[in-house]
């Protein structure tokens, strides 16, 4: 594999100076040094560092034969690029080292991933997928086990070719993994396996599936215990819209339930959306040393317009998010340590808003914005950001719908559309926390009750922020900080 990695690295290094000078290249989000990125993989804590791998095509800004890109951090805030970790190099992963996970075992970081081979021209039907292992003593250089550890899908109503994305964990001295799957008539489901040594795996059960509108394939499953529940995070493909929910091509959801380790079955409730915006897929979590459940997702969506491809790169990760149990739901909140990136604070208090209004020094393209607004006497409240002469992205609350809408109809190149989510404003206080990077917006509503993520591609001159209300709103507190880059110059930046 060493030769394949060297070839990949040479390709990336030739392109990266041009890519990272571009106006849309992120400053405080993990993005590829050059070319294509999708799903987070192998998100893990090993030897005092956080390792994040990702699906990576190092030869083109389009999806292609998958490698594992690699970044590392000591605090989940500041990151360093490392060389490509996995590259196609065996007969079982010749057409891609697909998604997977990583776990520390006896002083080694062990990655379990899906090896993919195309057996014909149709990528939906002509494929063979197996589960493979690679090990590393330093978390950087990996050695593959040549033979797959799971050679084929189990018997029963399980599709023989589409089973992928293993997520591994340890429970009471035994290893378990969930795999994304579908039935033979294309209904999404998750499989559960167990092992004593990570090498010999036994199929236990179809752990979970959903009757009705559950989609045709459940990708990137992740199962863990949090609070009073076991939680299954996954990315179902093909879920049909229901009201304001599930309007992206594919979804990222969680369900709460209970895993019966004896039988391998997971009894669970209905889907909850993890993000109500446009661009969030394939999230993966880890438990950090403090016991928090931290999640990162791919900040893009399949088959969306991706204007950065014309400039040699595509894809980014979200900021790290903390999952917080709250009764029969999870709150999704930005990692508190991101406050370390703040510079040049600006703040205002008790500001009435009726017509369109701006505030001195509240603008920019790379910032954090916190807004707490009393909407008791307002019928609507809007924040227009990345605003210019012809462009703006609009975050709008409407009393009559009790909902927040994110509108990128005028956001710039390529993208458009709206997404809406119901929110609770019984207290008459609405809270927004916005993280704006060069080509993205992540909006946390009411301390994590809902999150909306969007890629946007405005001009650099579109850096305004405007506030509007119908009726009268009072901004009780407004805070804005410029945010600095999270990457060190070492390792390719």
> What SS3 state is found at 274?
coil
Measure the CA–CA gap between 28 and 438, rounded to whole angstroms: 9
Residue 431: what pLDDT? 98
CB atoms within 10 A of CB 325: 15
Strand order in the sheet with 321-326: 281-287, 293-298, 321-326, 329-334
Residue 493: what pLDDT? 30
Element at 332 (helix H, strand E): strand 329-334
- Residue pair 343/481 in contact (Cβ under 8 Å)? The answer is yes
Q: Mean pLDDT of all residues in the chain?
A: 97
- Residue pair 141/123 in contact (Cβ under 8 Å)? The answer is no
Q: Same domain for 267 and 158?
A: yes
Element at 21 (helix H, strand E): none
Q: What is the CATH number of the domain that holds 378?
A: 2.60.120.560
Residue ending a domain, choose from 275, 310, 334: 334
Say if 170 falls within a structural domain.
yes
Residue 488: what pLDDT? 75
Residue 489: what pLDDT? 52
Q: Same domain for 361 and 328?
A: no
Q: Same domain for 420 and 297?
A: no
Q: Same domain for 6 and 154?
A: yes
Say if 492 falls within a structural domain.
no
Residue 492: what pLDDT? 36
pLDDT band at 11 (very low <50, low <70, confident <90, very high): very high
Give the predicted TM-score (pTM) of the model: 0.97
Measure the CA–CA gap between 95 and 127, rounded to whole angstroms: 10
In the predicted model, is pLDDT for residue 490 greater than 60?
no
Q: Same domain for 297 and 397?
A: no
Strand order in the sheet with 464-471: 418-422, 403-410, 392-398, 378-387, 464-471
Residue ending a domain, choose from 291, 307, 334: 334
Say if 378 falls within a structural domain.
yes
CB atoms within 10 A of CB 374: 19
Q: Same domain for 355 and 221?
A: no
> What SS3 state is found at 296?
strand
Number of domains in the chain: 2
Structural domain harbouring 428:
338-483
Element at 7 (helix H, strand E): helix 2-20
167-225 pLDDT per residue, tens? 999 999 999 999 999 999 999 999 999 999 999 999 999 999 998 999 999 999 999 99
Q: Which residues contact 186 (CB under 8 A, 6 or more apart)?
A: 159, 216, 217
CB atoms within 10 A of CB 474: 19
60-89 pLDDT per residue, tens? 999 999 999 999 999 999 999 999 999 999
Strand order in the sheet with 473-483: 342-353, 473-483, 367-374, 429-437, 440-445, 450-455
Q: What is the CATH number of the domain that holds 165?
A: 2.115.10.20
Q: Which residues are catalytic?
A: 39
Say if 491 falls within a structural domain.
no
Q: Same domain for 200 and 316?
A: yes
CB atoms within 10 A of CB 111: 28
Say if 489 falls within a structural domain.
no
| Interval 91-110 mean pLDDT | 98
DSSP state of 66: B
User: What percent of the chain has a predicted confidence (pLDDT) above 70?
Assistant: 99
Say if 12 falls within a structural domain.
yes
User: Number of helices and strands (H, E) in the chain?
Assistant: 1, 33
Q: Same domain for 373 and 310?
A: no
pLDDT band at 276 (very low <50, low <70, confident <90, very high): very high
Q: Which two tokens stand for residue 275?
A: 């993000």
Q: Same domain for 223 and 372?
A: no
CB atoms within 10 A of CB 138: 10
Residue ending a domain, choose from 303, 334, 365: 334
Residue 289: what pLDDT? 97
In the predicted model, is pLDDT for residue 312 greater than 70?
yes
| Interval 455-466 mean pLDDT | 98
398-410 pLDDT per residue, tens? 999 999 999 999 9
| Interval 431-443 mean pLDDT | 98
Residue 9: what pLDDT? 98
Q: Same domain for 304 and 229?
A: yes
């Amino acid at each position: 594999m060493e030769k394949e990695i060297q070839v990949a690295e040479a390709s990336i290094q030739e392109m990266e100076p041009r890519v990272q000078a571009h106006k849309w290249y992120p400053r405080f989000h993990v993005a590829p040094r050059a070319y294509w990125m999708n799903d987070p993989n192998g998100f893990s804590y090993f030897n005092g560092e956080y390792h994040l791998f990702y699906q990576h095509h190092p030869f083109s800004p389009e999806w292609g034969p998958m490698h594992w890109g690699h970044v590392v951090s000591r605090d989940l805030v500041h990151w360093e690029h490392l060389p490509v970790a996995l590259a196609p190099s065996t007969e079982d992963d010749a057409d891609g080292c697909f998604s997977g996970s990583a776990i520390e075992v006896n002083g080694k970081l062990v990655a379990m991933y899906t090896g993919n081979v195309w057996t014909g021209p149709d990528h939906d039907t002509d494929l063979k997928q197996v589960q493979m292992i690679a090990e590393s003593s330093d978390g950087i250089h990996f050695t593959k086990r040549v033979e797959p550890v799971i050679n084929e899908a189990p018997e029963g109503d399980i599709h023989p070719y589409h089973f992928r994305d293993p997520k591994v964990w340890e429970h009471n001295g035994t290893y378990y993994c969930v795999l994304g799957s579908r039935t033979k008539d294309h209904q999404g489901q998750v499989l559960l396996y167990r092992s004593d040594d990570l090498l010999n795996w036994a199929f236990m059960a179809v752990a979970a599936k959903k009757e009705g509108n559950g989609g045709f394939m459940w990708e990137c499953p992740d199962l863990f215990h949090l609070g009073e529940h076991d939680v299954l995070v996954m990315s179902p493909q093909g879920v049909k819209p229901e009201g304001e929910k599930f309007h992206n091509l594919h979804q990222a959801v969680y369900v709460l339930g209970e895993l019966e380790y004896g039988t391998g079955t997971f009894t669970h409730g209905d889907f909850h959306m993890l993000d109500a915006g446009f661009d969030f897929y394939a999230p993966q979590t880890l438990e950090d040393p403090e016991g928090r459940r931290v999640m990162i997702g791919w900040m893009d969506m399949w088959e969306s317009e991706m204007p950065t491809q014309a400039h040699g790169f595509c894809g980014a990760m979200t900021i790290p998010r903390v999952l917080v149990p709250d009764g029969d739901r999870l709150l999704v909140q930005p990692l508190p340590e991101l406050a370390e990136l703040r510079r040049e604070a600006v703040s205002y208090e008790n500001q009435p808003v009726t017509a369109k209004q701006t505030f001195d020094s509240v603008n920019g393209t790379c910032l954090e914005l916190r807004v707490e607004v009393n909407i008791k006497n307002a019928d609507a409240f809007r924040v227009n950001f990345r605003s210019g002469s012809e462009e703006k992205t609009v975050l709008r609350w409407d009393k009559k719908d009790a909902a927040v809408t994110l509108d990128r109809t005028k956001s710039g190149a390529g993208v458009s559309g709206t997404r809406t989510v119901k929110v609770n404003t019984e207290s008459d206080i609405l809270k927004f926390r916005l993280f704006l990077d060069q080509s993205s917006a992540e909006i946390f509503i009411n301390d994590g009750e809902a999150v909306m993520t969007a890629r946007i591609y405005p001009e650099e001159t579109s850096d305004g922020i405007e506030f509007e209300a119908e009726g009268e709103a009072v901004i009780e507190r407004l805070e804005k900080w410029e945010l600095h880059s999270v990457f060190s110059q070492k390792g390719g930046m």
